[in-house]
Amino acid sequence: MSAAKIARRGSPPATPASGGDDHVGALPDALLHHILSFLPAQQVVRTCVLARRWLDLWKSSSGLRVVGADGKEPVRFEDVRVFVDNLLLLRGCSPLETLELTFSGGSIDMLRVRLWIRHAMLCKVRVLLLKISGAPTWFQQGEPALVSEHLTRLVLRGIVFNDDDFLDFSRCPSLQDLNLMICSFENTRRISSKSLKHLVIMGASFSSRTRIDAPNLECLQLQVHWGRIPVLEKMPSLVLAIVNVDSSCLDTCSRANYGDCGDESCRGCIQDGSSSVLLQGLSETQALVLTATTRMYVIRRDLKRCPTFRQLKTLVLNEYWCVPDIHPLKCILEHSPVLEALCLLLFSQ
């Protein structure tokens, strides 16, 4: 399919104003490529009908954003499936800075999406965003890991991971920024990357005790919406950590302070050894925001073997730490020798 045919799909293309010089068209190619990278891909392709110079300019745009017409909302996968196939075919392997795919609907062909992502890897993409709204979309078991020397930022939204193969980023040595939004981790044992500097996991569900292994992490934002709290491995370079655990988390028990109520059938209590879940991994941070429900025994259990927060200068806690008793607050303060600022968010819910 030609670029002109792709351009005719959807609304009519814009035409240049009559009279006067084409000042925009006189700009250098590199600047035009940068400008085009901010537009939805459907609009970028339509520029091929503006003038002869624009005929192939879209093929070298540094960014492809497959989104809704307003540039923000998701687009139905079925409405753009053929368009994206032809777009990537005609574009070839021109270098690509950013690929954004924002879809809605429950019938998304993930095999095809993975082919698009592989094509982007061949184009040395540096920033990859895959955001899905609506019904959860599964990455099937055995989904191969990403392989890229150029990828620096990855954003995934609305994905269900069925194992940890895809979440091993050892073959992405330049990856520094990972954002996982409203994702579910089914039978996922580990999320690992040696190169990560910034990790955001928001609205997450963990069916099992996943381990997060990112030894060079500098900034962590973790919100567990449901399931088991993940184990944090050592993070010696950590500067800021923001951790919130919702009340729907399974690591709760109204009858236990330290993770063992004595009922063998209790799903809330820890059954898997005595290692630290959260605090040991957070012990090297300089600033910490840590909020949880009062029924969350995991942190109280970690406090029985509380590490020393040798670099912690700023600490923000909620009422969990002093209700119904002040022991958790007293304990963490005793193990924070250089603390300069403490903020208590009392009755924050």
* Residues 94-113, mean pLDDT to the nearest whole number: 90
**Res 246: pLDDT:** 81
Q: Give domain status of residue 154, yes or no.
A: no
* Residues 291-303, mean pLDDT to the nearest whole number: 79
Residue 315 has pLDDT above 60, yes or no: yes
Beta-carbon neighbour count of residue 241 at 10 Å? 25
pLDDT category at 5 given cuts 50, 70, 90 is low
Q: Give domain status of residue 333, yes or no.
A: no
The CA-atom distances, in angstroms, between 13 and each of 50, 75, 106, 165 are 8, 19, 30, 43
Q: How many domains does the chain have?
A: 1
Q: Give domain status of residue 277, yes or no.
A: no
Measured CA to CA, the distance from residue 249 to residue 255 in angstroms comes to 16
Whole-structure pTM value: 0.85
pLDDT in tens, 43-92: 888 887 777 778 777 887 889 999 987 777 899 999 999 999 999 998 88
Burial bucket for residue 168 (CB in 10 Å: 0-12, 13-18, 19+) = middle
Measured CA to CA, the distance from residue 216 to residue 195 in angstroms comes to 6
* Residues 186-202, mean pLDDT to the nearest whole number: 96
**Res 18: pLDDT:** 46
The encoded tokens of residue 117 equal 């992502």
Residue 16 has pLDDT above 50, yes or no: no
Helix pair angle (77-91, 110-122), 10° resolution: 30
Of residues 158 and 265, more confidence is placed in 158
Percent of the chain at pLDDT above 70?
Answer: 85
Q: Give domain status of residue 180, yes or no.
A: no
What burial letters (b/e) apply to 95-125, b meaning 16+ CB within 10 Å?
ebbbbbbbbbbeebebeebbebbebbbebeb
- Residue 240 φ/ψ, nearest 5 degrees: -135, 135
* Residues 292-317, mean pLDDT to the nearest whole number: 88
Q: Give the residue numbers spanning the domain of 70.
A: 1-11+28-135
Q: Give domain status of residue 102, yes or no.
A: yes
* Residues 186-196, mean pLDDT to the nearest whole number: 94
Q: Give domain status of residue 65, yes or no.
A: yes
**Coil, strand or helix at 84:** helix
**Res 17: pLDDT:** 44
Q: Give domain status of residue 96, yes or no.
A: yes
**Res 14: pLDDT:** 46
**Res 120: pLDDT:** 96
pLDDT category at 144 given cuts 50, 70, 90 is confident
* Residues 270-299, mean pLDDT to the nearest whole number: 82
* Residues 322-340, mean pLDDT to the nearest whole number: 93
Give 241's strand partners: 220, 288
Burial bucket for residue 21 (CB in 10 Å: 0-12, 13-18, 19+) = exposed
The encoded tokens of residue 140 equal 């099937």
165-179, 266-280, 296-310, range with the lowest pLDDT: 266-280
Give 179's strand partners: 155, 200
9-13, 31-35, 185-189, 215-219, range with the lowest pLDDT: 9-13
Measured CA to CA, the distance from residue 89 to residue 339 in angstroms comes to 57
Q: Give domain status of residue 267, yes or no.
A: no
